[in-house]
Structure 1
Amino acid sequence: MADTPNGAAPQQPAQVKMQVLAQYIRDFSFENIVAQKGTGGDVKPDVQVQVGLDAKKRSVENQYEVITKYTITSKNKETGDVLFAMELDYGGVFLIDGIPEQQLHPFLMIECPRMLFPFVRRIVSDVTRDGGFPALNLDTVDFMAIYRNEIERRQKDAAAAQPTNA
C-alpha cells in the first residue's frame, strides 16, 4: 500500500450502509364498486396506477422514513364505470449511512422505494384477488423516471415563478 505524500495511508471511501428497520401499511382502502352497485357481466378492465413518493428524516441519527403512495383504479374500458378503487400508503424506516449529502435525496426517492416495491406488489395482488377480482400483479415501477420527472417539474415551476426583467 502506497503512502500519500504527507505519510498518511490513502483514505478509503465511506462504506455505504443501508438497512430496512421496519415496513408498514400507513393507510389503505379498497372499494369493490361492482359488488356495491350489484352490477356484473363481461367487462374489459383498464387499470390506472399512480405513484407518489415522500421521504423525511427521523429524529434518530441516520434514520429516514420513506412513504410510497399508490392510487389504483380499474375501469370498464367500454363504459368507463369504475370496477374497483384502491389507495395504499406503504412505508419503510431505513438506516442509511455513508451516502454523501448530495446523493441522499435521490437514494431515498429511488433505492428505498425499490426495496419496498415487492411487498407492495404482493399486497395489491392479494387484496384484488380477495376483493373478487383477478389478482393484479403490478408492473415494475421506474422510480428513477418518477424522480427525474419530479425534478423537471420543480425546475419548471421555479423558472415560471422567477420575475422576468422587461
Structure 2
Amino acid sequence: MAENGTNGATQQPQVQMNILGQYIRDMSFENVMAQKGAGGEVQPDVSVAVNLDAKKRSVENQYEVMTKLNIESKNKEDGDVLFVLELEYVGVFNIEGVPEDQLHPFLLIECPRMTFPFLRRIVSDVTRDGGFPPLNLDNIDFVAIYRNELARRQADAAPQQ
C-alpha cells in the first residue's frame, strides 16, 4: 500500500511562479481631442488591441512576458479620435516545475493574468490624468487570445491553393 495517498503514481513537480519585477517598457498617451481644441458632448467608442510576447532571459528559469495594449477612443458621432494610448508592460518571472510542452501557454496565459491588475490600474490612471474619465478595462481572456494566435499561425503555415 502506497503512503501519503499517492497510490504509487509519480508525483508531478510542484509549479512555482514568482514575479521578480514589473515595469513599463514603453508608453505613449496622446490627447488628440485637446490638441484639436475640440469640445462639447462626446460619445466615446473605445477599441482595445492586445498583443503578447514572451522570451527567455539569460538567467535559468527566468522569463519576460510583455503585454502590449493599443487603445483608441473615438467619438461615435463623427469618428474623430479622442485619445490614443499605447502601452508595453513587462513582467519578469521565475518559473519552475512547468513541463516544457506546457511552458509556452503558461507564459502567455498565466503570466499576463498575474500582471493584468497592475496594467489595468496604469490605464485607468493615465486616462484620468489625461483629462478623460478613467478607463477601467474589462477582464481580458488570455486563453482566447492564445488560441486565436495558434489558429492564425496554423492558417499562415497551411499551403496556399
- Which TM-score band (shorter chain)? over 0.9
What does residue range 23-62 of structure 1 map to in structure 2 within 5 Å?
Answer: 23-62=22-61
Alignment partner of 1:67 is 2:61: no
Instruction: Report how far residue 10 of structure 1 moved.
Output: 5.5
Mapped partners of 2:48, 2:113: distance in 1:
16
Q: Deviations over 1:3-24 (max 9, x none)?
A: 8xxxxx7542101000000000
Alignment partner of 1:151 is 2:120: no
Corresponding residue of 2:2:
2
Query: What is the RMSD of the two structures over their aligned residues, measured on CA atoms?
Result: 1.3
Q: Deviations over 1:107-163 (max 9, x none)?
A: 0000000001000100000111110000000010000000000000000111135xx
**TM-score where L is the length of structure 2:** 0.94
Mapped partners of 2:118, 2:9: distance in 1:
41
**TM-score where L is the length of structure 1:** 0.91
SS in 2 for 1:160: coil
Corresponding residue of 2:88:
89
Amino acid at match of 2:133: P
How many correspondences in the alignment? Answer: 157
* Misfit runs of 4+, over 4 Å: none
SS in 2 for 1:124: helix
Give the unaligned 5+ runs of structure 2: none
Mapped partners of 2:54, 2:159: distance in 1:
26
Amino acid at match of 2:105: P
Alignment partner of 1:12 is 2:25: no
